[in-house]
Amino acid sequence: MQTDHRLAELRATGIANIWIEIADAIGFDAFMRVWSILDRDNLLYGGHRETMRINVPQMRTYLRYQRNSYIRSLATSGLTTVQIRDRIRKDLGERLSIRHLDRIIHRRSR
């Protein structure tokens, strides 16, 4: 696969290497769309800030949501908490207590 020459232009701007890596991973055009979306916040401040800080949620937030949805679907399908615990241990390699599983199953979805 050929490297996009526009990545060199990004490097020349002096932006952090993590952004170059992201641009390389998703493609230059997609990166520019994402960057434009992220930069919209700067407009709220009159566009005067050269850099801005963004909070990036940890990947585990999404993975935990997916795991909890899976647990709820297993409960809905009629499995007991013991069966669910064993399934989670086998499928996901996680050891959860029965009490914790009960909290997940009975918690409202967000």
Residue with more model confidence, 110 or 9: 9
What letter represents residue 51's amino acid? T
Q: What is the pLDDT of residue 90?
A: 97
Q: What is the pLDDT of residue 57?
A: 83
pLDDT in tens, 53-88: 777 888 999 999 999 999 999 999 999 999 999 999
Instruction: Tell me the pTM.
Output: 0.69
Three-state DSSP string of 18-45: HHHHHHHHHCHHHHHHHHHHHHHHHHCC
